[in-house]
Amino acid sequence: MSAAAQTVSVVKPAQKKPKAWRELVRLVPYFRPYKAATIFGLVTLLLMGLLGALPPLIIGIITDCLKGAPEPMPNLTLNPNAGAAAGATFWHTVLRPILRFYKASSGHTVLILCLLLVAVVIVKGVFSFASRWILIGISRDIEFDLRNNLLGQLVRMEPEFYVRNRTGELMSRCTNDLSAVRMVLGPGVMYSANTIVGMVVAIAVMVKISPLLTLEVLTPVPFVFVVVRYFGTVIHELQAKIQAMLATLSAKAQENLTGIRVVRAYGQEAAEMRSFDEANRQYVGENIRMIRAWSMFFPALQMIIGFSILFVLWQGSRMVVQDRISLGALTAFYTFVGLLVFPMIALGFVTNIFQRGAASMGRLNYILDTAPRIDDSQVRSEKQEEIDGEIEFRDLTFVYPTPRSGNGSKPSTNAKTEQANEPVLKNINLRIPAGATIAIVGPTGSGKTTLAGLIARLWEAPCDTLFIDGKSIREWPLAELRRAIGFVPQDAFLFSETIHENIAFGVENATLNEVEDAAQIASISGDISDFPTRYETIVGERGITLSGGQKQRATLARALIRNPRILILDDAFSSVDTDTEEKILQGLEDVLKKRTTILISHRCSTVRDADQIVVLRDGRIIEHGTHEQLIGLGGYYAELYQKQLLEEELARE
């Protein structure tokens, strides 16, 4: 286990009280590139809402025509020149083209009105399609931008961030949570605008038909808002828990699939299934609570809406009998009440979308708001000199950062976290000339990998303790620094691509000859030649189709093809036999002379030809010199060398 894994513990983010709108406000800047399209989509929604007022009016006129009324819906169609109240002018103007064909009890009038009704519905359908196509399309574009921003942020984060956050949870945030946010951007915005426009238009017409009936219909509306607010809060809290539990399930599944060989080798299938089953039951339990809330939410809305319909039928029928409104007006009014039912129910649907989206956006904001500890934004952007390769440590003492929790909660105070306050490297003073080869040996946990990680700036060294070419490492742009470094970690990682793509990773337009030369130096070209498709062989997830030694040699070739000024080999030969190691080292002789090389190994045979050998123990340099000098000291290195010689002799016997 590496020092990082030993000293840093995982702290789960604490859940804050939901602040839905504050989280969703972060989405506003994403609409700016699509401002024109968004406005056009909202305009089509407005036109669709205005057209939505015509079918009930046409149905009301048809009803009065069939009844034989001389003037259909006089509350709306009364001629303003005949002393109508203010406001009738608008509706008379809107309905004038329709009224030109009106004749009481006329089949011809009914036919024209029916054809007009079909035409209005068709045009409304066109606007409906356009609004959905535009607004849902914009939501997909913003989802694309948001996903890119998330990945861009994740690749900028330092290793500490991935110690604090499990891969499965991050994947859940970038998939499930992102989908929930997209629902806010598309259906959420569309249904909200549609609901507002539909309610405003319907209420405006209903007030004109009968203010008294409208007042009675809208009396239960305050109760609707109370119900929506209460259940909205409950749903938001439940949704936040459900999304967190889903992330936990994703993390468990990802870990089990990645480590399936370990699980099966240790016969832990049943134990892992029980662990997953427990988390799965908790997830299902919270979903059942969510279903229970929804089961109460919609019936409550429907009951309130039912009272509104009863008011219309009871009071409206009395007004028709008293000849205060026409039957057609009551029919149109009742139809408008039906149109109001969808916006009221849509309130519940939109509430669910926004509450789920807010909970998910809060989880995405955690990623977007986390500032990387290692940042070069303050470094001047002018062209820098090329890195030569001189490395110097000056009184470096390094402590792994105490883990920060996800949402600002206090770090844990358990033993592992307290251990993070212990220095991993202590008072390191070391100068490595450009072009020199330095070897680092020492027992497990002595800080060798940490030292290599500091050079690549995977971890942040204290200020003015690490210098490259006489300049503080913080003064070098990260891109330029890492472009000059070839890093072969002890944990060989390959992507699920071809061998060619894995070796050429990080080098644009790498030719096949360059890939073959790097593979030749790394002593893997012979193995690749035995594959049926040679360099186009797919290596599988994490290089599962290759042996450990082949993976290490492939990662070595990946570092060499970059032609780096600084080459870091972190126990890069641990999975190969001594004969292969010797062959690789012979191939590297000319390569190592042209660059600064940091060679970390447990084998003395690997490091004996280095210009300098540094022995680390408990984070301190205890020995420093050439192979012959360290043998003469008779210390740790000499003991290690004698022990390995004895092991080799026993192996030959």
Among 428-437, 552-561, 590-599, which range has the highest average pLDDT? 428-437
Which residues, other chains included, contact 360 with Cβ-Cβ below 8 Å and sequence gap of 6+?
A: 173, 176, 177, 178, 180, 181, 239, 243
pLDDT digit string, tens, across residues 512-527: 888 888 888 888 888 8
Q: What phi and psi values does residue 649 have, to the nearest 5 degrees?
A: -65, -40
Question: Please, which pLDDT band fits residue 122 given cuts at 50, 70 and 90?
Answer: very high
> Spelled out in words, what is the top-level CATH class assigned to the domain 20-143+167-369?
mainly alpha
> Which of 351 and 283 is assigned the larger pLDDT?
283
pLDDT of 62 over the 80 cut = yes
pLDDT of 291 over the 50 cut = yes
What pLDDT sits at residue 348? 67
Sequence-distant contacts of 86-91: CB under 8 A, at least 24 apart:
87/208, 88/208, 91/205, 91/208
Percent of the chain whose predicted confidence (pLDDT) is above 90: 2
Average pLDDT value over all residues in the chain: 78
When mean pLDDT is compared across 9-13, 295-299, 511-515, 611-615, the lowest value belongs to 9-13
Partnered with residue 468 across adjacent β-strands are 391, 471
For helices 327-369 and 221-258, what crossing angle results, to 10°?
Answer: 40
Element (H, E) at 206: helix 189-209
Partnered with residue 178 across adjacent β-strands are none
pLDDT of 9 over the 70 cut = no
What pLDDT sits at residue 95? 67
What global pTM score does this model have? Answer: 0.67
> Which of 620 and 212 is assigned the larger pLDDT?
620
Q: How far apart are CA 230 and CA 333, in angstroms?
A: 30
CATH of region 486-563: 3.40.50.300
Domain boundaries, given as residue ranges, for the chain: 20-143+167-369, 486-563
- Rounded to 10 degrees, what is the CA torsion of 23, 25, 28, 29? -70
Q: How far apart are CA 151 and CA 142, in angstroms?
A: 14
Q: How far apart are CA 542 and CA 551, in angstroms?
A: 9
Report, as an integer, the average pLDDT of 129-140: 89
Same topology, domains 20-143+167-369 and 486-563? Answer is no
3-state secondary structure string across 343-371: HHHHHHHHHHHHHHHHHHHHHHHHHHHCC
Integer CA distances (angstroms), 544 to 261, 494, 651, in order: 11, 9, 30
pLDDT digit string, tens, across residues 534-580: 888 888 777 777 777 788 888 888 888 888 888 888 887 776 777 77
> Which of 349 and 89 is assigned the larger pLDDT?
349
pLDDT digit string, tens, across residues 253-283: 877 777 776 777 767 778 788 888 888 888 8
pLDDT of 3 over the 50 cut = no
Question: Please, which pLDDT band fits residue 592 given cuts at 50, 70 and 90?
Answer: confident
CA angle (257 as vertex; 251, 260 as ends), nearest 5 = 130
Partnered with residue 625 across adjacent β-strands are 613
Which token pair is 521?
A: 């130096």
Report, as an integer, the average pLDDT of 184-206: 82
